[in-house]
A and B are shown apart, each in its own frame.
Chain A
């Protein structure tokens, strides 16, 4: 892979049947990262999970009324950094107000953002034009 920039862009309908495809791309990318010296199998699972959770989030927060709505996902691999952006067209939500799961009294929901925050190095959610962008960064060294 050398140091060259790799870019992947996928646009899917807002349907959960495409989660496997998106997650699999993350898993496959993890196995190609020459620079990564950590546990590659774990990274593969984590990228699969983070892409799955982020895409579900975008589908849930996307426009519920438009059957032609899409989610755009970009993955950029730089020398020491993996950058994921997931774009939705919905109303958005306040990332900072999402609480940690209550580990003493576990609930069914609310673990998705926790996984993304815990397994990756930086997570932001911002409005850009007519989209919301969930940006996730994982440092590779």
Chain B
């Protein structure tokens, strides 16, 4: 999976550089988030601007990250979701679990 992590305003922003998250690459996403958390990066924003498709395993990978961050008193939030991807969070009611931001600025503002 093509992704890039960058420290911005004290948060670790994980940019997903893929159009599609499915069972073929969601395992890598899960591992990448776990790797960050294990290295003390417990405040993570996953930036999904380029992602136009996510399946159940992709949602599962993000949920795994959310739970692991929360277990260490951290947070995993999501930013820049496309409408169709957001609708999958709504269908599974995961929009009530994650903090979801329109963009990174909104995410940073809310953490001040």
Complex CA–CA separation, A53 to B22 (angstroms): 9
Complex CA–CA separation, A22 to B56 (angstroms): 16
Minimum Cβ distance to chain B for residue A71 (Å): 13
Among A45, A53, A107, A112, max chain B CB count under 10 A is at A45
Q: Name B's interface SS.
A: helix
Count of B interface residues, CB-CB < 8 Å: 21
Count of A interface residues, CB-CB < 8 Å: 26
Asked if residues B64 and A53 are in contact (CB atoms below 8 Å), the reply is no
Residues of B within 8 A of A45 (CB): 53, 84, 87
Q: A18's closest neighbor in chain B, by CB?
A: B24
Asked if residues B24 and A106 are in contact (CB atoms below 8 Å), the reply is no
Minimum Cβ distance to chain B for residue A110 (Å): 8
Is A140 located at the chain interface by the 8 A CB criterion?
no
Minimum Cβ distance to chain B for residue A90 (Å): 16
Is A137 located at the chain interface by the 8 A CB criterion?
no
Asked if residues B55 and A20 are in contact (CB atoms below 8 Å), the reply is no
Minimum Cβ distance to chain A for residue B54 (Å): 9
Asked if residues A109 and B24 are in contact (CB atoms below 8 Å), the reply is no
Asked if residues B84 and A115 are in contact (CB atoms below 8 Å), the reply is no
Residues of B within 8 A of A115 (CB): 55-56, 88, 91
Is A23 located at the chain interface by the 8 A CB criterion?
yes
Asked if residues B20 and A108 are in contact (CB atoms below 8 Å), the reply is no
Asked if residues A19 and B24 are in contact (CB atoms below 8 Å), the reply is yes
Minimum Cβ distance to chain A for residue B55 (Å): 5
Residue in A20, A101, A110 whose CB lies within 8 Å of B20: A20
Residues of B within 8 A of A19 (CB): 22-24, 55
Minimum Cβ distance to chain B for residue A100 (Å): 11
By a beta-carbon cutoff of 8 Å, the part of chain B in contact with chain A is 20, 22-24, 53, 55-57, 59-61, 63-64, 84, 87-88, 91-94, 97
